[in-house]
């Protein structure tokens, strides 16, 4: 029997259908009995669905410059050995 920790570890694989059938069955059985894990898996599923619907936008030139400036600033006082 799977524990809550096991379900959390396997949640994304469960949702994508990537688990072996025995582990998948164990997750389903656990979710039928555990409302907290069921809610957690529903929240993960909701997040994954929302991320799929949101189009990925490439960074703007201003964002890239800001990131590069931050990297330069972070490494300006460091010496590499």
Structure tokens at 11: 């949640």
Question: How many C-beta neighbours within 10 Å does residue 19 have?
Answer: 18
pLDDT tens for each residue of 40-71: 999 999 988 888 887 778 888 998 889 888 88
The pTM score is: 0.62
CA nearest neighbour of 31 among 4, 9, 56, 51:
4
| The total number of residues written for the chain in this structure | 81
d(CA 26, CA 31): 9
Sign of CA dihedral 13, 15, 19, 22: positive
Find where tokens 């990537």 sit: 18
């Amino acid at each position: 029997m799977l524990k809550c920790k096991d379900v959390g570890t396997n949640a994304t694989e469960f949702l994508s259908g990537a688990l072996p059938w025995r582990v998948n069955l164990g997750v389903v059985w656990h979710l039928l009995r555990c409302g907290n894990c069921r809610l957690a898996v529903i929240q993960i599923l909701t997040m994954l669905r929302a991320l799929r619907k949101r189009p990925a936008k490439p960074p703007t030139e201003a964002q890239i410059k800001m990131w590069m400036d931050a990297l330069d600033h972070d490494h300006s006082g460091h010496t590499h050995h």
